Amino acid sequence: MAETLALAHEASREERYEALSTRWAALLGAESNRMANLANTAAVLKEAFDWHWVGFYLVDAYRDELVLGPFQGPLACTRLHHGRGVCAAAWDTASVQVVPDVRKFDGHVACSSLTESELVIPIVVADLVVSVLDIDSSTRGDVSVADVKGLAPLVRFLENNWNSWE
Ligand code: SME
């Protein structure tokens, strides 16, 4: 990967999303290995937004669980189950979960006690959730629909390319 991120330090979060929105193909498009691309996606998001934890859980269809995928941040829970936690809610309902205060989310799975807010976006391919993108912030109220909007080009890119990656 010859690309470097080089986002201006002073850029707002919105400007960072804007700068990234057209760059996903350049950052990831040359590689056809899915895990490598998810790993670099986590790295890019960590570098751009300095989230406490950012990464992917992958649907393990055989065990009917979510299993930890590429991520950046502290040690995390390796397996998540239906009906428990924010990631499972996104998986079970195929819908985005914006949680400004994790204490108010019944059943939140606290992999890290430092997480205060969380955003989980399902990756949906051919009508099936194949993965979730999980973002944890150590600041309460730090995630909103603006982040969902900012991440939409990435999510579209992942969904469109998922099955062409080995
Ligand atoms: N908090 C998540 C578990 C995953 S960690 O945040 C990395 C949940 O409630 O599903």
pLDDT at 163 over 80: yes
Q: What is the pLDDT of residues 45-58, one digit of tens each?
A: 999 999 999 999 99
Q: What is the pLDDT of residue 7?
A: 72
Indicate whether 3 belongs to any domain.
no
Average pLDDT over residues 104-122: 94
> Which of 47, 105, 4, 159 is closest to 119 using CA atoms?
105
Indicate whether 124 belongs to any domain.
yes
Indicate whether 6 belongs to any domain.
no
Indicate whether 44 belongs to any domain.
yes
Q: What is the pLDDT of residues 133-157, one digit of tens each?
A: 999 999 999 999 999 999 999 999 9
Indicate whether 5 belongs to any domain.
no
Q: What is the pLDDT of residue 11?
A: 86
**Which numbered atom of ligand 1 lies nearest the CA of 87?**
10
pTM: 0.95
What CATH number has the domain bearing residue 18? 3.30.450.40
Cα(86) to centroid(ligand 1), Å: 6
Give the number of domains in the chain.
1
Q: What is the pLDDT of residues 83-95, one digit of tens each?
A: 999 999 999 999 9
Distance between CA atoms of residues 9 and 105, nearest Å: 33
pLDDT band at 30 (very low <50, low <70, confident <90, very high): confident
**Which numbered atom of ligand 1 lies nearest the CA of 105?**
9
Distance between CA atoms of residues 42 and 73, nearest Å: 9
Helix axes 13-21, 145-161, angle to 10 degrees: 20
Mutate to test the pocket of ligand 1, among 66, 86, 115, 121 (most ligand atoms within 8 A of CB): 86
By alpha-carbon position, which residue is closest to atom 7 of ligand 1? Answer: 76
Q: What is the pLDDT of residue 51?
A: 96
Distance between CA atoms of residues 86 and 62, nearest Å: 21
pLDDT band at 6 (very low <50, low <70, confident <90, very high): confident
Q: How far is CA 41 from the centre of its chain?
A: 8
Q: Which residues pair with 122 in a beta bridge?
A: 132
Work out the percent of the chain whose per-residue pLDDT is above 70. 96
**Which numbered atom of ligand 1 lies nearest the CA of 109?**
9
Cα(112) to centroid(ligand 1), Å: 8
Ligand 1 pocket check for 87: Cβ under 6 Å: yes
pLDDT at 2 over 80: no
Indicate whether 7 belongs to any domain.
no
Q: What is the pLDDT of residue 3?
A: 63
Ligand 1 pocket check for 147: Cβ under 6 Å: no
Residues 6 or more apart whose CB falls under 8 angstroms from that of 41 comprise 28, 56, 70, 154, 158
User: What's the domain range around 17?
Assistant: 13-164
